[in-house]
Amino acid sequence: STTIKKLYREHESFEDKQVKLSGWIRTLRSSKSFGFIELNDGTFFKNAQIVFDEALSNFKEIEKLPISTSITVEGKVVLTPNAKQPFEIKADNIIVEGTSSSDYPLQKKKHSFEYLRTIAHLRPRSNTFSAVFRVRSLAAFAIHKFFQERGFVYVNSPIITGSDCEGAGQMFRVTTLDLDNLPRTQDGQIDVKEDFFGKTTSLTVSGQLEAEVFALSFRNVYTFGPTFRAENSNTPRHAAEFWMIEPEIAFAELKDDMELAEDMVKYIINYVMENAPEEMEFFNNFIDNTLFDRLNNVVNSEFGHVTYTEAIEILKKSGQQFEYPVEWGIDLQTEHERYLTEKVFKKPVFVTDYPKKIKAFYMRLNDDNKTVAAMDLLVPGVGEIIGGSQREERLDVLERRIKELGMDVKDYWWYLELRKYGGTKHAGFGLGFERMIMYLTGMSNIRDVIPFPRTPGNAEF
């Protein structure tokens, strides 16, 4: 048996050949003596057209099959150079593998993405989601390929962790306790000190600290795994569970970090454009018709650079009414980020050197003592897709920062030892994988680029 993907890619070599395909009926129409099936076999974004007629012994059964029935077709490939599809298959045998009920929810009419979220178990069968999840898979591969080609070592950072990398208090606690039967003191108070085999643990918000460990022995490393944030934010860009790619490079500064990020983003776009042309065309035609222009612009341009302080000035002078007022010291909100990248730079832009007050403890303090060597990459349509920094490699400065933020140096003893034993300047960043997929596809809600999104009120599947 062959696949629809192979037939599309090599249809000429299949001319008049006998093939066997298994898949699901996407559409079926028939008249008295013949009919057409659009068959999808899961291997390709597009369907194969099957032509069948009365010569089939089970013609009467086949012509009444509901959408989504799974079938196996044997027949001859006929090239159709003037038709929409380059070939069709003239069936001489169709076997029903599994029937479908006529109330199948994905009928031909277009459904809203909101509705499709409620049927996350069926939506991968729709055109849009078939394209999204294929691109997601390819992009993941492209990322591994990019780093592996450059000799980076892939590190698996732990999911369950004892440290809070971002210090933002957004961690999901992990516990072995039976929450319905918590240990109590004699006067009925809850009596819990440690909840995971003698330790307080949570789901990781970032694999960065562990990536730093490995960067200081392998030089160039990256993580690629799930991360978790217990933030109750209902935005199209935040999920409680998302995947992050976190490279970490030793003997490197912020400038090297940004170069790596820019190369990576361009590489992913090029790879996906080249290897998923049908899916990308679909996105450009039906989801966002500025997509190709935008992506072409990205791969052919040099990303912009602006310091946080300059960005604040630009925003203040813009004359734009922002919902959240602009002042030096604020954390840039999505509206500010999008204004900068969409209206001012009209391409991806790195914002650097943020106030230390709004950034994490590990970022390298600049000489002004007010800002840190941080960078965020903002892109049109999405806003922040990358957050990174040069790391504080000076032991005394780092200890001071940790204390300043009210954290306990004891909790970071191993992290501090990296500075004690052969520390060096190093840097890294985190790419939000889902935000990258949104950027690649033009999809505007993070719930629609995750197979089973975890957002407030969304954990059914």
Among 381, 430, 442, 453, binds ligand 4AD (CB under 6 A): 430
Residue 327 CA, distance from chain mean position: 31
User: By CB under 6 A, is residue 347 in contact with ligand 4AD?
Assistant: no
Convert residues 435-454 into a mask of x (bound to ligand 4AD by CB under 6 A) and - (unbound).
x----------x--------
Among 246, 279, 393, 448, binds ligand 4AD (CB under 6 A): 246
* 94, 99, 279 from 50: Cα distances, Å: 10, 18, 22
- The helix (run of H) or strand (run of E) holding residue 295 is helix 291-300
User: By CB under 6 A, is residue 428 in contact with ligand 4AD?
Assistant: yes
Backbone angles phi, psi at 385, to 5 degrees: -115, -20
**Whose Cβ is closer to Mg ion: residue 235's or residue 285's?**
235
User: By CB under 6 A, is residue 381 in contact with ligand 4AD?
Assistant: no
DSSP classification of residue 352? E
List the interface residues with ligand 4AD, window 150-179 (CB under 6 A). 165-166
User: By CB under 5 A, is residue 432 in contact with Mg ion?
Assistant: no
User: By CB under 6 A, is residue 208 in contact with ligand 4AD?
Assistant: yes
Rg (CA), the chain: 27
Q: Which stretch, 17-25, 58-66, 325-333, 426-434, contacts ligand 4AD (CB under 6 A)? A: 426-434
Cα angle, residue 323 at apex, residues 318 and 329 outer, rounded to 5°: 70
User: By CB under 6 A, is residue 228 in contact with ligand 4AD?
Assistant: no
Q: Least distance to Mg ion from the beta carbon of 222, Å?
A: 18
User: By CB under 6 A, is residue 429 in contact with ligand 4AD?
Assistant: yes
Map tokens 């933002």 to a residue.
168
Helices (H), 303-347: 308-317, 334-338
User: By CB under 6 A, is residue 44 in contact with ligand 4AD?
Assistant: no
**Whose Cβ is closer to ligand 4AD: residue 246's or residue 279's?**
246
Q: Number of residues interacting with ligand 4AD: please give it, by CB under 6 A.
A: 24
Q: Least distance to ligand 4AD from the beta carbon of 121, Å?
A: 23
List the interface residues with Mg ion, window 384-403 (CB under 5 A). 387
Asked if residues 100 and 69 have their Cβ atoms less than 8 Å apart, the reply is yes
From Mg ion, ligand 4AD, none, interface partner of 435 (C-beta below 5 to 8 A by class)? ligand 4AD
Query: Which residues, 6 or more positions from 221, have their beta carbon under 8 angstroms from its beta carbon?
Result: 152, 153, 154, 155, 211, 214, 215, 247, 248
Among 24, 147, 222, 242, binds ligand 4AD (CB under 6 A): 242
Q: Which stretch, 62-70, 272-280, 298-306, 431-439, contacts ligand 4AD (CB under 6 A)? A: 431-439
**Whose Cβ is closer to ligand 4AD: residue 125's or residue 401's?**
401
From ligand 4AD, Mg ion, none, interface partner of 353 (C-beta below 5 to 8 A by class)? none
Q: Number of residues interacting with Mg ion: please give it, by CB under 5 A.
A: 1
Task: In whole angstroms, give the CA distance from residue 334 to residue 444.
Answer: 13
E strands present in 210-288: 220-228, 241-250
Q: Which stretch, 83-91, 131-139, 403-411, 427-435, contacts ligand 4AD (CB under 6 A)? A: 427-435
User: By CB under 6 A, is residue 434 in contact with ligand 4AD?
Assistant: yes
**Whose Cβ is closer to ligand 4AD: residue 148's or residue 232's?**
232
Largest CA distance in the chain: 84
Task: In whole angstroms, give the CA distance from residue 24 to residue 26.
Answer: 6
Helices (H), 58-121: 59-62, 113-117
Q: Which residues make beta-bridge pairs with 226?
A: 243
From ligand 4AD, Mg ion, none, interface partner of 244 (C-beta below 5 to 8 A by class)? ligand 4AD
- The helix (run of H) or strand (run of E) holding residue 397 is helix 395-404
Q: Which stretch, 191-199, 239-247, 291-299, 364-372, contacts ligand 4AD (CB under 6 A)? A: 239-247
Structural tokens at position 312: 């604040």
Q: Quick one: which of 259, 214, 247, 289 has its CA closest to 441?
A: 289
Bridge-based pairing of strands 220-228 and 201-203 is unpaired
Asked if residues 372 and 363 have their Cβ atoms less than 8 Å apart, the reply is yes
Judged by the rule CB under 6 A, the positions of this chain that interact with ligand 4AD are 165-166, 206, 208, 229, 231, 238-239, 242, 244, 246, 384-389, 428-430, 432, 434-435, 446
Judged by the rule CB under 5 A, the positions of this chain that interact with Mg ion are 387
